[in-house]
Amino acid sequence: MNRKFDIILFGATGFTGKLVAEYLSKHANTENISWAIAGRDTEKLIAVSNTLSENKPAIITADINDVISLRNMVSQTKILMNTVGPFNIYGKDVVTSCIESGTHYLDITGEPSFVADLYNNHFQSAAGYKACIVNCCGFDSIPADFAAWLTAKKLPLHEPKALKGYIRTNATFSGGTLTTAVQALHMEVKKESIKTKIRRHPDAPKIPLKVHFSKDINGWAIPMPVVDPHIVKRSAYRLPGDYGEAVSYGQFFVRSSFSKVLKTVVPIVMASFLVRFKGFRDRLYKKFKPGTGPNEERRANTKFEAICVGTSTTSSARTVISGGDPGYNETAKMFSQSAFTLLDKIKNNTINYGVLTPVEAFGEELVHRLRREGIRIE
């Protein structure tokens, strides 16, 4: 693949985009990459570039509403890293442009419907154009996907497996992330959300998705409507040589006390009702504006832990992945290292094509990179 750039970061002026740009800038020499940042506002892109102390990127103007500009952008790069959300609204033309240009695509979406739509409807075209399309290359869903995969590989291959994922974090979120969450919740409430087409194996153990006290993590477990289970189940379906055939997965958010359970669940239940009303959604959009988010001090005091506990007929296993601020600092790291891993695979001609999960696309190579960058994987 002969392209002008190895990586173009689209959406570099957003809150997360700026952090990714900073990370890429610091690692561009070590990874020996040529890169650019892209968006619709040239002045804002220049401002982002001016904040970078080293390895300043080229600047490309591209507008999400101008398909010709999108095609021009993606045709110049081997990999497009996309941070422009909500992806259900702004992502489809970007992905289509990448597929038709044979450009590899990574994003940090957390929207189940967007992810399911790409897998259900675009896998064959991506494979045909030799494009590698990978969603959820940040905190959604690399910790959960890799924790489940590494746990499954510790269990006997041909035994049915129950994998339970637990997420523990004290993170807060940016305006863009909350805007995306509101959009996704609204689609779910209106029953417009698209589901991934994967059949459950009849021998797969059942995992009750209810609030309960879990001895696995000595805390309260709350099932959450997030994208991670969609990704993990797809990885298991696509990689039976690692997971076996009869695999189930359930994911829970961890709280230390029942009072904290109530503080988590009650607002979600209320939002699920109120999100039906446009006035409520508009108020949230005004309060949590895209481009805003936790400051550097807050992010420095934030951490996460993704635990997967697996049981089979005769055995049990556990994997823990942990690190710092998950939504932003560590997402920038995971996202960028995913791109670097994909570049390695392009050079080594070991890349797979289609709409893939992070585990399916990056495997052990990304595990080694993340460990080297300080993310603990045990």
Find the CATH number of the domain harbouring 134: 3.40.50.720
Domain, as residue range, for 151: 142-323
Residue 368 has pLDDT above 90, yes or no: yes
Distance CA 319, CA 149 (A): 9
C-beta separation of 322 from 334 below 8 A: no
Instruction: Give yes or no for a cis peptide into 193 (omega within 30° of 0).
Output: no
Q: What angle do CA 263, 294, 38 make, to 5 degrees?
A: 130
189: pLDDT confidence band, cut at 50, 70 and 90? very low
Shared domain for 158 and 226, answered yes or no, is: yes
Shared domain for 216 and 118, answered yes or no, is: no
Q: Are strands 161-169 and 304-311 parallel, antiparallel or unpaired?
A: antiparallel
pLDDT digits (tens, 9 = 90+) for 143-166: 999 999 999 999 999 999 999 999
Distance CA 160, CA 167 (A): 23
Distance CA 355, CA 197 (A): 13
Residue with tokens 């797809």: 234
Residue 176 has pLDDT above 50, yes or no: no
Max CA separation in the chain (angstroms) = 61
Write out the H or E segment, with its range, that includes residue 265.
helix 258-274
Say how many residues make up the chain.
Answer: 378
Distance CA 347, CA 1 (A): 9
Distance CA 86, CA 225 (A): 17
Shared domain for 47 and 187, answered yes or no, is: no
Shared domain for 300 and 271, answered yes or no, is: yes
pLDDT digits (tens, 9 = 90+) for 46-85: 999 999 988 899 999 999 999 999 999 999 999 999 999 8
Shared domain for 244 and 363, answered yes or no, is: no
Shared domain for 58 and 151, answered yes or no, is: no
Residue with tokens 């997360």: 16
Among 194, 185, 255, residue whose Cα is nearest residue 223? 255
Shared domain for 130 and 158, answered yes or no, is: no
Residue 278 has pLDDT above 80, yes or no: no
Lowest mean pLDDT among 147-161, 163-177, 273-287: 273-287
pLDDT of residue 262: 84
Sign of CA dihedral 171, 174, 178, 183: negative
- Domains of the chain: total: 2
347-355 contacts at long range (C-beta below 8 A, 24 or more positions apart): 351/104, 351/132, 352/132, 353/126, 353/127, 353/129, 353/130, 353/131, 353/132, 354/123, 354/124, 354/126, 354/127, 354/132, 354/133, 355/118, 355/119, 355/122, 355/123, 355/126, 355/133, 355/134, 355/135
Shared domain for 62 and 163, answered yes or no, is: no
Distance CA 73, CA 67 (A): 10
pLDDT of residue 174: 44
Residue 263 has pLDDT above 60, yes or no: yes
Distance CA 82, CA 38 (A): 10
pLDDT of residue 53: 82
Distance CA 28, CA 342 (A): 15
C-beta separation of 101 from 288 below 8 A: no
* Cβ-based neighbour number of residue 333 at 10 Å: 24
Shared domain for 127 and 205, answered yes or no, is: no
pLDDT digits (tens, 9 = 90+) for 289-331: 655 566 666 666 789 999 999 999 999 999 999 998 886 789 9
Residue 35 main-chain phi, psi, to 5 deg: -150, 165
Based on the number of CB atoms within 10 Å of its own CB, is 14 exposed (0-12), middle (13-18) or buried (19 or more)? buried
Helix/strand/coil percent split, the chain, to 5: 45, 20, 35
225: pLDDT confidence band, cut at 50, 70 and 90? confident
Shared domain for 92 and 187, answered yes or no, is: no
Residue 240 has pLDDT above 80, yes or no: yes
pLDDT digits (tens, 9 = 90+) for 94-117: 999 999 999 999 999 998 889 999
Shared domain for 83 and 181, answered yes or no, is: no
pLDDT of residue 270: 72
Q: What value does the mean pLDDT take over residues 336-344?
A: 98
pLDDT of residue 311: 97
Shared domain for 260 and 370, answered yes or no, is: no
User: What's the whole-number average pLDDT of the chain?
Assistant: 89
pLDDT of residue 175: 46
Domain's final residue, options 323, 343, 364 = 323
Domain's final residue, options 290, 306, 323 = 323
C-beta separation of 99 from 128 below 8 A: no
Residue 283 has pLDDT above 80, yes or no: no
